[in-house]
């Protein structure tokens, strides 16, 4: 039988893919989509491994950059490529649930830092920005609404 599809941040599903080597499983999310075909999404773990150096969103010259916290490496292009490749493979879905506050997955909740790493606001992670463009018809939610 045809099932609806839900793209969900993999750490919310119990995958051990967070930067700190942990998961962030949220049962309410898993239960809400029990009838769906689940498409786990995590752009960071395949690129950087788990555990890995933490990354942050920095606003430099009005442009978002994703930069590693200790080695100060700009990984924006790498992440963009990974996320866009995912969107090519999974071009259709019926729901999207992303992990709040993440530099990749956060939707309106991710700390935005200036060049001195002071928090200057909150916004989207890079995946949420790309998903808004790629899946304009799908409402993006995070785990906090479940």
DSSP secondary structure of 62-81: TEEEEEETTT--B-HHHHHH
How many C-beta atoms surround the C-beta of residue 26 within 10 A? 21
Q: Does 6 bind ligand SF4 (CB under 6 A)?
A: no
Q: From 6-14, 61-69, 84-92, 114-122, give the range in contact with ligand SF4 by CB under 6 A.
A: 6-14
Closest CA to 125 of 88, 99, 146, 143: 99
Among 83, 95, 105, 140, binds ligand SF4 (CB under 6 A): 105
Choose one: 62-70, 84-92, 99-107, 113-121; the region binding ligand SF4 (CB under 6 A): 99-107
- What does residue 53 show for φ and ψ, rounded to 5 degrees? -65, 140
| Span from 52-60, 62-70, 102-110, 136-144 in contact with ligand SF4 (CB under 6 A) | 102-110
Give the containing element (helix H, strand E) for 29: helix 27-32
Residues that bind ligand SF4 (CB under 6 A): 9-11, 17-18, 42-45, 99, 102, 104-105
């Amino acid at each position: 039988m045809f099932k609806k599809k839900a793209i969900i941040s993999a750490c919310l599903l119990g995958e051990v893919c967070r930067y700190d080597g942990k998961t962030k499983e949220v049962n309410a999310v898993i239960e809400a989509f029990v009838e769906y075909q689940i498409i786990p999404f995590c752009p960071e773990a395949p690129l950087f491994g788990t555990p890995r150096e933490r990354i942050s969103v920095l606003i430099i010259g009005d442009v978002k950059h994703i930069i590693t916290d200790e080695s100060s490496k700009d990984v924006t292009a790498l992440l963009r490529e990974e996320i866009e490749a995912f969107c090519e493979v999974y071009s259709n879905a019926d729901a999207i649930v992303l992990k709040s506050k993440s530099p990749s997955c956060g939707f309106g909740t991710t700390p935005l830092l200036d060049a001195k790493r002071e928090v200057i606001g909150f916004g989207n992670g890079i995946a949420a920005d790309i998903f808004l463009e790629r899946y304009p018809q799908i409402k993006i939610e995070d785990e906090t609404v479940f």
